[in-house]
């Protein structure tokens, strides 16, 4: 990790990334060229760069890898932290950031700059009183080996290391909080209720299903392969599951699994699945809209035709952003950590090795290649 590259020095800064009501600014700093005379060792810094804004289905070639060097010290007088990225999270929302967004809750990636996302990191140097060298943290970071995070107050310090660090990209990070907030806070489940989850084998869906089972609900999930359906039934202990690709009529399929209707739908897909679910909701049913991955790569989004059901069945459908619930993260940890330690929560990760595998891992989300939470292992330490 001591390789340096001669010639000129260049500094690249990423734009401010705005997420909901909070913001995070990180500087993706790399030097191509001769090491500077500033304090701090120079090491290699690989980065995943967005080539240009994407329309339609993304491709690996929409991203590329560059290698430069980085100085392992924060600027003098700065309150930033310099981190070594250990694990990076692949999340469906990142597809939206690859487009030229206007009026969105999150800013677009900048073509020619590193993409960003949630990750688990080790603090290498810190100018912030809350963090010190050697601390483990999770939060927004760059898709690179090292990142200078200039708004470290948005990071979460990792206090519990008796579980795998990679869990903080999902189960103990954004995905876990999404499942917790959407199911418990938005849907207010009760024992004995019926719950349907689309994209149920993904990072969020697998947790919602298990939370629902622990609450005493009847749970069915949909997924896109036999392997994933088996996972839902055997690993995550769903009451039942089906492969939506094998169902010619989703309305008929849902009536088969929910003859008396659905109390709670955890929405991850949108499109035709949402249309069918609306026909099968119970009166006063609740829908937590977490995502709609079926629509992210379409130039023209599909229409939903059964919205009248929201009126006649008095359904409450609520979209939510996990960032609005981060203040409840300690409450979530208090609930979920004992369940993990007692073996009550199963969790499946799909880990790709090396930053170079990042583009393929991210693109694979949109064709269902991943089984469980998709993670990129940048460095294991």
Assign residue 62 the CATH number of its domain: 3.90.180.10
If asked whether residues 297 and 194 sit together in one domain, one would say yes
Task: Determine the pLDDT at residue 8.
Answer: 24
**Residues 110/112/118/124 CA torsion (nearest 10 deg):** -120
Rounded distance between C-alpha atoms, residue 239 and residue 213, angstroms: 8
Does any domain span residue 284? yes
Tell me the longest C-alpha to C-alpha distance in the chain. Answer: 72
Task: Determine the pLDDT at residue 131.
Answer: 95
Total count of domains within the chain: 2
If asked whether residues 222 and 164 sit together in one domain, one would say no
Rounded distance between C-alpha atoms, residue 271 and residue 274, angstroms: 6
If asked whether residues 228 and 251 sit together in one domain, one would say yes
Task: Determine the pLDDT at residue 40.
Answer: 64
If asked whether residues 153 and 197 sit together in one domain, one would say no
If asked whether residues 75 and 210 sit together in one domain, one would say no
Does any domain span residue 358? yes
If asked whether residues 296 and 311 sit together in one domain, one would say yes
Domain limits for position 213: 175-324
Q: Residue 203, Cβ neighbours under 10 Å: how many? A: 31
Does any domain span residue 24? no
Return averaged pLDDT per consecutive 10 residues of the chain, 381 residues in all: 28 33 45 39 93 92 94 91 96 90 82 94 95 95 95 92 94 95 96 96 93 98 94 96 95 97 94 94 96 76 88 95 92 96 92 96 87 91 71
If asked whether residues 200 and 306 sit together in one domain, one would say yes
DSSP of 242-283:
EEGGG-S-HHHHHHHH-TT-EEEEEESS-HHHHHHHHHHEEE
270: left (phi over 0), alpha (psi -120 to 50) or beta: left
Task: Determine the pLDDT at residue 251.
Answer: 96
If asked whether residues 298 and 369 sit together in one domain, one would say no
β-strands 218-223, 194-197: how paired? parallel
């Amino acid at each position: 990790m001591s390789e340096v590259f001669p010639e000129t020095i260049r500094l690249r800064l990423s734009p401010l990334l705005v997420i909901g009501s909070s913001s995070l600014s990180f500087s993706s700093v790399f030097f191509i060229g001769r090491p500077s005379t500033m304090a701090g060792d120079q090491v290699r810094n690989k980065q995943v760069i967005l080539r240009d804004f994407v329309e339609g289905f993304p491709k690996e070639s929409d991203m590329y890898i560059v290698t430069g060097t980085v100085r392992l010290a924060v600027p003098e007088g700065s309150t930033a932290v310099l981190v070594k990225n250990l694990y990076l999270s692949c999340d469906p929302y990142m597809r939206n950031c690859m487009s030229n967004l206007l009026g969105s809750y999150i800013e677009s990636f900048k073509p020619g700059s590193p993409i960003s996302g949630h990750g688990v990191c080790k603090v290498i140097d810190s100018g912030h009183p809350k963090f010190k060298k050697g601390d483990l943290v999770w939060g927004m970071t760059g898709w690179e080996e090292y990142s200078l995070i200039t708004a470290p107050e948005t990071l979460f310090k990792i206090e519990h290391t008796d579980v795998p660090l990679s869990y903080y990209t999902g189960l103990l990070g954004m995905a876990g909080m999404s499942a917790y907030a959407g199911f418990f806070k938005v849907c207010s489940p009760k024992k004995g209720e019926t719950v349907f989850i689309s994209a149920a084998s993904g990072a969020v869906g697998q947790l919602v299903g298990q939370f629902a089972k622990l609450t005493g609900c009847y749970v069915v999930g949909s997924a896109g392969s036999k392997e994933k359906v088996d996972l839902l039934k055997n690993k995550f202990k769903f009451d039942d599951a089906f492969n939506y690709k094998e169902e010619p009529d989703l309305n008929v399929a849902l009536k088969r699994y929910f003859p008396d209707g659905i109390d709670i739908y955890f929405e991850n897909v949108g499109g035709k699945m949402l249309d069918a679910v609306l026909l099968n909701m119970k009166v006063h049913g609740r829908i937590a809209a977490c995502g709609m991955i079926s629509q992210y790569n379409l130039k023209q989004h599909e229409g939903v035709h059964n919205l009248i059901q929201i009126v006649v069945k008095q359904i409450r459908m609520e979209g939510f952003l996990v960032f609005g619930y981060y203040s409840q993260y300690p409450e979530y940890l208090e609930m979920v950590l004992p369940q993990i330690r007692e073996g009550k929560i199963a969790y499946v990760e799909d880990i790709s090795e090396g930053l170079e595998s990042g583009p393929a891992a991210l693109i694979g989300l949109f064709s269902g290649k991943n089984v469980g939470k998709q993670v990129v292992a940048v460095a294991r330490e």
